[in-house]
Amino acid sequence: NAGVMQNPRHLVRRRGQEARLRCSPMKGHSHVYWYRQLPEEGLKFMVYLQKENIIDESGMPKERFSAEFPKEGPSILRIQQVVRGDSAAYFCASSPVGGLTTGNTIYFGEGSWLTVV
């Protein structure tokens, strides 16, 4: 859904560098999710954030990965000291609320492709 904006669409980093992926949720959405898709695999949940809060980071690797969703500005997924295994598509998604509401659907951005060389 074009309403969730991710940038950059493509990012190339050398091993050891840092990667920063940005996500602006749909207007009126206060919940953001990050997913990772490795080649030929499904989407794996990484982290769920609300404004200024991390709600669920059970899918985040313990080291090098961090995420934030500040009061102002986009959500950021940060990968420090990237390795070749970090090469993947990273999808951001947003929803208006986290629980049950009418039309409660998660909408995805177009993804950011990280290549580590």
* β-bridge mates for residue 25, sequence order: none
What is the smallest separation between the CB atom of 81 and another protein, expressed in angstroms?
26
Task: Give, in order, the Cα–Cα distances in Å from 54 to each of 86, 88, 110.
Answer: 22, 22, 23
Q: Contact, 90 vs 111, CB < 8 A?
A: yes
Binding residues vs another protein (CB under 8 A): 1, 31, 33, 35, 37, 41-45, 48, 55-56, 59, 89, 91, 93, 95, 97-100, 104-108, 110-111, 113
* β-bridge mates for residue 107, sequence order: 94
Which one, 68 or 110, has the nearer CB to another protein? Answer: 110
What is the smallest separation between the CB atom of 18 and another protein, expressed in angstroms?
24
Which one, 17 or 87, has the nearer CB to another protein? Answer: 87
What is the smallest separation between the CB atom of 41 and another protein, expressed in angstroms?
7
